[in-house]
Amino acid sequence: MADPSFFYTPELISNKNRDVPIPLPDVKRIEYVDEFMSNPDNYSGDIKALTDRLVEKVNECEHSVNLLRNEILQKCAALSQLKKDLLELQCQLRLPDAKERFVDKDEKVVVKFLDEETSYEYDMDTALNNFSVKMSLLYAEIIVTQNDIDVVEHFKNIAMANCTNVIDWFESNQRSEEVNQSTSC
């Protein structure tokens, strides 16, 4: 059997940027079902209680995945709005009076990102730089969050396999007991 210290539950990467972390259920693969079922801490004769606990792990994973997916939708909305704002700014730069407005008169550009509370006024170069940085940041956050979804989906699949294996083991033992009883008669 593998060394139990080898198994760990990683932290979601995107939790580093959150005030309230998204929970990652503690799911470990049941490698030896006979051994697992013989432990009274795991199985005390009530298969329903055990399967309910195992299904709860699947549900916890689904809940975390849903939270992460909603977060990606919000980031995609912010990214979409950022692209629209950048295109609008680009249109302003193409106007005939753009040089006069933004270079000679040093007109400020109001920058307000969808996922931020406050707006700021910057000169054109700084505004364009901030749009670029924010776009890169949003792309990176989306990729990190998608990676976290993959991790949680992996744990969900393990939890589902655990549940299936325990039920299959239980049903197999039930059939074996029935066969043993019918042959002993």
Average pLDDT, the chain: 88
Tell me how far the alpha carbon of residue 1 is from its chain's centroid.
Answer: 30
Which residue did the predictor score with more confidence, 160 or 110?
160
pLDDT in tens, 65-91: 999 999 999 999 999 999 999 999 999
What average pLDDT does this structure show over 132-157? 95
**pLDDT score of 185:** 55
Domain ranges of the chain: 49-172
Residue range 49-172, CATH number: 1.10.287.370
Residue 67 tokens read as 């939270």
More confident site: 165 or 107 = 165
Tens digits of residue pLDDT in 125-135: 899 999 999 99
Tell me the pLDDT tens digit for each residue of 20-70: 888 888 899 999 999 999 999 888 888 999 999 999 999 999 999 999 999
Give Cα separations from 111 to 79, 91, 100 (angstroms): 14, 15, 20
87 Cβ contact partners less than 8 Å away, ≥ 6 residues apart: none
Q: Tell me the whole-structure pTM to 2 decimals.
A: 0.81
Q: Half-sphere exposure of residue 70, counting CA atoms within 13 Å on the CB side?
A: 7
Residue 4 has pLDDT above 50, yes or no: no
Please check the confidence at residue 5 and state whether its pLDDT lies above 60: no
**Alpha-carbon distance 37 to 35, whole Å?**
6
CB distance 25 to 60 below 8 Å? yes
